[in-house]
Structure 1
Amino acid sequence: MRRRCPTIAAVSKPRKRFRKLDGILLLDKPRGLSSNQALQRVRHLFEADKAGHTGSLDPLATGLLPVCFGEATKIAGGLLGARKAYDTVARLGIVTDTDDAEGQPLRERPVPALAIDDIDAALRKFVGRIRQRPPVYSALKRGGEPLYAKARRGETIEVEERSIDVHAFELQSAADLLDGGEPLLRLHVECGSGTYVRSLVRDLGEALGCGAHVAELRRLWVDPFREPKMWTIEALQELAGRGGQHALDACLLPIESGMVAWPEVVVAPAQAARLGRGQAVAQVQGPAGEVAILDHHGRALGLGQLDAGFSLRPKRMFSWACAGPETAAANG
């Protein structure tokens, strides 16, 4: 009788289990990854069931990318509009289709003889409330599709100017250029929401008469994280290898650290319970507008809208607020 060979069952890799995790990670995004690629790497490393980032960085860019886990994603929209700071290197004389070093050259022009005063005078034109045309290769959407997708298909795209705030646009060094080396300017930028540093550098190049593109870009800080302790992906992987999830969790900031831009109002336990059920409460003292809601322990419960008559309406409440004051205290 012929013996039948045993079949080897395919061994499937166990599916990764994600966990509920709340907090904010200040990630130092590496060059070469999109913001979403970096987000997914740290999400899988932390095994978090929900995560989002607060403002994209181009693949060429490095630096601060705040990552919100769990309930912290509910305040991510507020962080998107925060003031930001960058260091960038502008390469004069070459214009690219993406306005940075990853694009294809479109035009090359000689760089004129420039003095520091010439550069400073050009920089001053771009400080204050100005009009800016975003890059064609950007994540801005038209008809529900990012502009970069249309540009890659070769579509002709007209991008409208919009108003932005540039708080500082300063020369840090022109030594490369003035010493006869590469025509590079090292610049510092502080700006508001919606500003494209690539567009600033492109327009500066035109003001100097030679064109320019971004060769390097690093985000230094985002309000309210002015002196951030950033974590690289490599450092996080090393921590995970040594101490597991407990070591990783120690890298997270509490949700409250991202809420300092909102005026705070403190509510009593009974008011917290009503807000958690989606009901407005009366007689809450504070400034009219969007506010951060805290319980009497200082624990953030969510965001609300306070009107001039001191009526507080819930907008985005955290899960522990919806569970009631006893559960919120236990989570704290």
Structure 2
Amino acid sequence: MSKKPRTVFRPLDGLLLLDKPLGLSSNQALQQVRHLFRAEKAGHTGSLDPLATGLLPVCFGEATKIAGLLLGSRKAYETTAVLGTTTDSDDADGAVLVERPVPELDDAAIEAALAPLRGAIHQRAPIYSALKQGGEPLYAKARRGESIEAPVREVEVHALQLTGREGPRLHLHVECGSGTYVRSLVRDLGETLGCGAHVATLRRLWVDPFAAPRMYTLDELRAIAEQGEASLDACLLPVEEGLAGYPRADLDEEGTRRLGFGQSVRIEGGADGLAVAYGPDGRCLGLVRREDGKLAPQRLFRWAAAAQ
């Protein structure tokens, strides 16, 4: 029996907007994509549970330097909550803990229960989550049957709306900030309604700054790969697409050279804060911080040094 040939990885920079399939962890999906593209370095921005589908931005090469920014970005989801059943993972993949009758609920009652879950709220994470406690993910402790006190954190829920309902199934649209668990929102909604609830389906629609993403499924990417590596690489977005929304700072040759040496650069105008620096050739150099009329390097791409 012949062995599968070993993947020969290559330097590759860019962003892939992956439509993660049902049933795979984010890391499993990442590894499949990494091998398909033969990328030396890859990472994803914001885990999706195996039950979840939708946008998983994958960073190759230098794009991994901005993964943290994307991780903290605003995100949108659509989810289906099933009332009447509580599970240990707060979703359909978990074991049933308790079943309760679902009371008669009109839209006004559901809206009253949704209202306290909007804005800046304190949320208890699911015990089956990737949050670490003592250097170990909570899910690892939960699988061993250990008693867990999941942390409570402040999160931001920008939008939480009922978009439809079918019996005990509620369809919800969620827009939230970093660290928010949709499973926890659904769990808390169910408790407020007095019957419990869990997530049956979850799909991530977008992540800032990719508000209307062209996502690729694994099957699409495999088919494109048959056309050659150039066709596959055409699916990637430039690294700077992940920095859209930040102010732009254009530098001349001397400013580009100084920045490449890791030195601050004087610049006229502009508000203080993070910005994206571009060289005279229009190429993105990386993230800088503008303060007191100077630009200080924050996360520069490797080609910024080559511009010295």
Report the TM-score when normalising by structure 2. 0.96
Separation in 1, partners of 2:270, 2:303: 23
Greater CA radius of gyration, 1 or 2? 1
The answer as to 2:206 corresponding to 1:238 is no
Shift of 1:14: 4.5
% of aligned pairs identical?
62
Alpha-carbon offset, residue 17 of structure 1? 1.1
1:221 pairs with one of 206, 225, 238: 206
2:281 and 2:129 map into 1 onto residues whose CA distance is: 43
Structure 2 distance, partners of 1:276, 1:284, is: 19
Code of the aligned partner of 1:40: Q
Letter of the aligned partner of 2:283 in structure 1?
R
Cα deviation, residue 11, structure 1 = 7.7
Change over 3 Å in CA distance of 1:129–1:229 after alignment to 2: same
Farther-moved stretch of structure 1 (189-198 vs 123-132): 123-132
Residue pair 1:265, 1:285 contacting (<8 A) in 2 also: no
Deviation at 1:316, TM superposition (A): 1.1
Q: Does 1:208 align with 2:193?
A: yes
The residue number in structure 2 matching 1:44 is 35
Q: CA deviation at 1:25?
A: 0.6
Gaps of 5+ in 1: 1-9, 178-182, 326-332
TM-superposed CA distance for 1:284, in Å, is: 5.0
| Residue type at the aligned position of 1:92 | L
Distance 1:284 1:140 in 2: 43
Contact in 2 for aligned 1:18/1:49 (Cα 8 Å): yes
CA-based RMSD: 1.5
The separation in 1 between residues aligned to 2:85 and 2:2, in whole angstroms, is: 54
CA distance 1:78–1:159, change in 2 (3 Å): same
Matching residue of 1:302 = 286
1:283 maps to which residue?
A: 267
Per the normalisation by structure 1, the TM-score is 0.90
Tell me if structure 2 keeps the 8 A contact 1:267–1:284. no
Give the Cα–Cα distance (whole angstroms) in 2 for the partners of residues 65 and 261 of structure 1.
Answer: 19
Task: Decide whether the 8 Å contact of 1:64 with 1:221 is kept in 2.
Answer: yes
Tell me which of 56, 61, 75 is aligned to 1:70. 61
Which residue in the other structure is 2:295 paired with?
A: 312
Indicate whether 1:249 and 2:233 are aligned. yes
Matched, 1:188 2:179: no
Cα separation, 1, equivalents of 2:290 and 2:223 = 45
| Residue 250 of structure 2: aligned partner | 266
Where has structure 1 moved over 4 Å in runs of 4 or more?
Answer: 10-14
Query: Which letter maps to 2:150?
Result: V
Find the aligned partners of 1:88 and 1:298 in 2 and give their Cα distance: 41
CA distance in 2, matches of 1:192, 1:12: 45
Cα distance in 2 between the residues matched to 1:132 and 1:220: 22
Residue 286 of structure 1 and its aligned partner are, at CA, apart by 2.5
> What are the Cα deviations for residues 228-280 of structure 1, in whole angstroms up to 9, with x where unaligned?
11100000001111x11111011111112111132221111221122112222
Q: How far 1:296 sits from its partner (Å)?
A: 2.5
1:84/1:219 contact within 8 Å kept: yes
Deviation of 1:13 after TM superposition, in Å, equals 5.6
1:102 aligns with 2:87: no
One-letter amino acid of the counterpart of residue 187, structure 1: L
The count of residues paired between Structure 1 and Structure 2 equals 308
Alignment deviations for residues 188-208 of structure 1 (CA, whole Å, 9 cap, x no partner): 101111100000000000011
Deviation at 1:84, TM superposition (A): 0.7
Q: Deviations over 1:109-156 (max 9, x none)?
A: 110111111111111121111111111111111121111111111111
Offset, 1:298: 2.7
> Any residues of structure 2 matched to 1:137-176 within 5 Å, and which?
137-174=128-165, 176=166
Is 1:58 the counterpart of 2:49? The answer is yes
